[in-house]
Amino acid sequence: MQPKPGQRVQADQKRAAVDICLVFDTTGSMSDKIDGLVRCMVDFVGELAKLRLDWQLTAVPFGDLTVPGDRVVGDLPFVTTREAGERLIRNMPRFSGGGNVGESSLEAVLAALRKPYRTRSVKVLVILTDEPPLEGSQLTVVSVARALRTKEIICFVASPNLPGYKRWAQENGGVWYPISSHMDTNA
């Protein structure tokens, strides 16, 4: 919207609005990767702070809902400063994940989609996990892919080489990155 002649424009109106949500697997299977990914995301926040963007950041740390005590934390607030972003990332709760294969990434993505994004912002999800999603009869990779498309969210994924995760990134303007025990999570 263009200002009227003589009308003063607030600084935030000149900057592009970007809302970013980190959907972060913080279970035991990620323990050898979490520290590097946290450092990488903290560096990312530092880079955001240098840009002329009206950005806000939140996170949805998650575990395995089939394991007592694990949960999906969908109520962390959006933050808008470098210091608050770094604190948010460094203080995410950690979960067990149990000894089974799979985590509750589907529920975590849905929790991320329910966040209070700003109407005119570019919305970005960054999904970080080393396990396949636990699917049920109602909640599937396909149903979450549909929800991502409906919300028009750009989706970046670092995950195992699984078609569903790759699909989320490819169909939603993002990029998929392989995650493994051999990757340099600082990069």
6-54 pLDDT per residue, tens: 544 454 457 899 999 999 999 988 888 888 889 999 999 999 999 999 9
Position 114 scores a pLDDT of 97
- Phi first, then psi, for residue 38 (nearest 5°) are -65, -45
Whether the predicted pLDDT of 1 surpasses 80: no
pLDDT in tens, 61-107: 999 999 999 999 999 999 999 999 999 999 999 999 888 889 999 99
Position 33 scores a pLDDT of 86
Whether the predicted pLDDT of 4 surpasses 60: no
Whether the predicted pLDDT of 119 surpasses 50: yes
pLDDT in tens, 151-164: 999 999 999 999 99
- Give the pTM: 0.88
Taking residue 26's Cβ as centre, other Cβ atoms within 10 Å add up to 24
Q: What is the 3-state secondary structure (H, E, C) of 132-175?
A: CECCCCCCCHHHHHHHHHHHCCEEEEEECCCHHHHHHHHHCCCC
pLDDT in tens, 132-184: 999 988 899 999 999 999 999 999 999 999 999 999 999 999 999 998 666 66
